[in-house]
Amino acid sequence: MLEIKYFKDYILRWLKQAQYKKTKNRERKVKQFASRRAALKTVVMDRDLSMRERFEAQIKLAALPRNGAKTRVRNRCELSGRPRSFYRKFKLSRIALRDLAAIGQIPGMTKSSW
């Protein structure tokens, strides 16, 4: 039974690591294509240009990699890789934030009491 639990933990750790790498790769692509994507979007949204120019810009925008879009990036906890319940200010999930706050690693954060 212990071997199965160890194997399951091993698999889960590598799955999280793969997701984390995928997210980092997407962040790199977003930085790489940000200027091109922004320039094409301004052309597409500019109503003073002809429909043909706007349509060509739209086709070029669609030809860019989908992972270069800002919306494809998922915020993940820096410690655990957890994608949900993410606090942007700390770049941590609620679980990691609570654990670090409990041992006093986050300045100014104390356990509330009333």
pLDDT 10s digits, 4-23: 455 556 556 666 788 888 88
Q: Region 69-76: what's the mean pLDDT?
A: 90
The predicted model scores a pTM of: 0.69
Return the residue matching tokens 């990691």. 96
Question: Residue 49: what pLDDT?
Answer: 93
Question: Residue 10: what pLDDT?
Answer: 59
Question: Residue 2: what pLDDT?
Answer: 45
**Looking at domain 75-114, does it have CATH number 3.40.47.10?**
no
The residues, ordered by sequence, that sit 6+ positions from 90 with a Cβ below 8 Å of its Cβ are 97, 106
**Looking at domain 2-74, does it have CATH number 1.10.287?**
yes
Phi, psi of 67 (to 5 degrees): -70, -5
The residue extents of the domains of the chain are 2-74, 75-114
Whether 19 and 51 have beta carbons less than 8 Å apart is answered as no
